[in-house]
Amino acid sequence: MNKKYKLIKEYPDSPDLGYEITFKEGYPYINCHEGKFSLEMCDKHPDFWEEVKELDFEILELSDGYNKYYKCEDGMFTINLQHKYELEHLLSGKSYSITKIKRLSDCEIFTIGDICDGEAVTKTEIISFEISNSKLLINISSGHIKLHDIKHFKTVLFTTEDGVDKFRGDSYYFIVVNENNPTHLILNSHIVDWDNPKKPPLGHVQFNYKLKAQDYINDNKIVYSKQQILDALTGEWNHRDVIKNKLGI
């Protein structure tokens, strides 16, 4: 893990106040124009070098038990835009609790009440959020889990005709099976955009693989009319063979 430090007090031949250096994981020394620095030196002189702990989360919403305070574009928090409050002011009050956060590494949003999976736990509910030493802890019934260990629990919403489970946000192919519909047996693609487990609309068949969907269309589309089939089957054998070859059977 990278470690970042900021100069908070100058010393002889030091860089300017506020200078920042970052030690990449596995590289405890830096030799640059401003001087030579070591990770050990920064750790042993906290009066001069302060570790900069970069957050992997952003607070989006807080609550006082009655009202929700959501984050505005200017970084302030408000209920109705008439009055705005700084985050530090709200966090300093014991009656305010964090209700929604965003993980910055992947922009995933978590809210109190979400059902999630974590390290060694599954299908557990988020009870509260807690900040400790600039780290966000997610409290659950059996204790707490770290932010980077958590992911939303996913419910299988339906299974395609070719046997693939689909979740919200997944893509799939679907075919309308209705001779009275102008889109009958036309291949379409879609993104799963619902949350509750249910089959897609009646009169549709769903596939994960495009080739499987196309095979379904080829197997079910009308190539000849019923009369043409009847004429061929009751006529000469060569007519029957032509149809069989056309159908691939």
pLDDT in tens, 187-242: 888 888 766 556 666 678 899 999 999 998 888 877 666 776 777 667 655 556 66
Do 22 and 76 lie in one domain? The reply is no
Q: Quick one: pLDDT band at residue 13, thresholds 50, 70, 90? A: confident
Task: Spell out the residues 6+ positions from residue 243 whose beta carbon is closer than 8 angstroms to its own.
Answer: 224, 229, 232
Long-range CB contacts for residues 4-8, cutoff 8 Å, separation at least 24: 4/51, 4/52, 4/54, 5/42, 5/49, 5/50, 5/51, 5/52, 6/49, 6/50, 6/52, 7/48, 7/49, 8/47, 8/48, 8/49, 8/50
Do strands 77-78 and 68-71 pair parallel, antiparallel, or not at all (unpaired)? antiparallel
Give the max Cα distance, the chain.
106
Do 148 and 158 lie in one domain? The reply is no
Q: Quick one: pLDDT band at residue 129, thresholds 50, 70, 90? A: very high
Q: Quick one: pLDDT band at residue 48, thresholds 50, 70, 90? A: very high
The candidate with the shortest Cα–Cα distance to 100, out of 150, 156, 50, 61, is 61
- Quote the number of domains for the chain: 3
Do 45 and 68 lie in one domain? The reply is no
Taking the C-alpha atoms of residue 25 and residue 23, their distance in angstroms, rounded to an integer, is: 6
Structural domain range at position 181:
154-249
The DSSP secondary structure of 82-145, one letter per residue, reads SSEE-HHHHHHSTT-EEEEEEETTTTEEEETT-EEEETTEEEEE--EEEEETTEEEEEETTEEE
The SS3 call for residue 171 is strand
Q: Which of 1-10, 32-41, 96-105, 135-144 has the highest mean pLDDT?
A: 96-105
Are 168 and 195 within 8 A, CB to CB? yes
Average pLDDT value over all residues in the chain: 83
Do 115 and 177 lie in one domain? The reply is no
Q: Quick one: pLDDT band at residue 112, thresholds 50, 70, 90? A: very high
Q: Is 28 left (phi over 0), alpha (psi -120 to 50) or beta?
A: alpha
Q: What is the pLDDT of residue 184?
A: 75
Do 8 and 82 lie in one domain? The reply is no
pTM for the structure as a whole: 0.55
Q: State what percent of residues in the chain have pLDDT above 70.
A: 84
Give me the mean pLDDT over the 15-37 stretch. Answer: 87
Task: Spell out the residues 6+ positions from residue 195 whose beta carbon is closer than 8 angstroms to its own.
Answer: 155, 157, 168
Question: Where does a domain end: 152, 171, 195?
Answer: 152
Do 140 and 104 lie in one domain? The reply is yes
Q: What is the pLDDT of residue 122?
A: 83
Q: What is the pLDDT of residue 4?
A: 87
Do 25 and 36 lie in one domain? The reply is yes
The candidate with the shortest Cα–Cα distance to 40, out of 52, 27, 53, is 27
Q: What is the pLDDT of residue 30?
A: 87
Do 210 and 244 lie in one domain? The reply is yes
Taking the C-alpha atoms of residue 237 and residue 247, their distance in angstroms, rounded to an integer, is: 16
Give me the mean pLDDT over the 178-193 stretch. Answer: 76
The SS3 call for residue 199 is coil
Q: What is the pLDDT of residue 207?
A: 93
Do 192 and 133 lie in one domain? The reply is no
Do 164 and 148 lie in one domain? The reply is no
Q: What is the pLDDT of residue 248?
A: 61
Do 165 and 82 lie in one domain? The reply is no
Do 63 and 102 lie in one domain? The reply is yes
Lowest mean pLDDT among 7-16, 36-45, 185-194: 185-194
